[in-house]
Amino acid sequence: MTRSTALRTLKGCATRPITLGCSEDTAGYLIKLYEHGDKSLLKPLLDAGLTSDGALAEILGDFYSNVLWKNPREFLERLKLRSKNEQLGLSRLAATTDGSGMGGDMLRDVRRNLRQIESQRGRLGPVARICLREVNKANATNQ
């Protein structure tokens, strides 16, 4: 599969029923390309999360949580460009990871980073607040 084929296929994830053969494998391939430096893939991967469910939501939630953990400003910059409802939904997916919630170090670091970004009162503060609220809600039992 090529990058352009995978991106075209990923667009099929946004339709109901899913078309173009989109699956979690498509997202997984694009996530690997992102992890190897193709940061432009974050936007289409976030787009796919707006309508994802099942296995696709799990793989995307896990990916989002890792981006939020390792590159919080990059994640928030992309969220900032979206509507409030989309920010909430994508933050919720990141907060729940693969459905199990965030574990120890990740949860601690994400909370700390979001609090710090929120407290700086910069342009990312409002979206950091939304994201932190979703992280806290989704992980209330994972203290």
Write down the pLDDT at residue 21: 72
Q: Hey, what are 60's tokens?
A: 């995307």
- DSSP per-residue letters across the chain: --HHHHHHHHHGGGSSS--TT--HHHHHHHHHHHHTT-GGGHHHHHHHHTS--HHHHHHHHHHHHHHHHH-HHHHHHHHHTS-HHHHHHHHHHHHHTTTT---HHHHHHHHHHHHHHHHTTSTTHHHHHHHHHHHHHHTTT--
Write down the pLDDT at residue 121: 83
Write down the pLDDT at residue 19: 65
Write down the pLDDT at residue 87: 97
Write down the pLDDT at residue 67: 98
Q: Which of 133, 141, 63, 131 is nearest to 97 (CA)?
A: 63
Q: Cα–Cα distance between 38 and 138 in angstroms, integer?
A: 29
Write down the pLDDT at residue 16: 66
Interval 67-107: pLDDT, tens: 999 999 999 999 999 999 999 999 999 999 998 999 899 99
Q: Which parts of the chain have pLDDT scores under 70?
A: 15-20, 142-143
Q: Cα–Cα distance between 88 and 90 in angstroms, integer?
A: 6
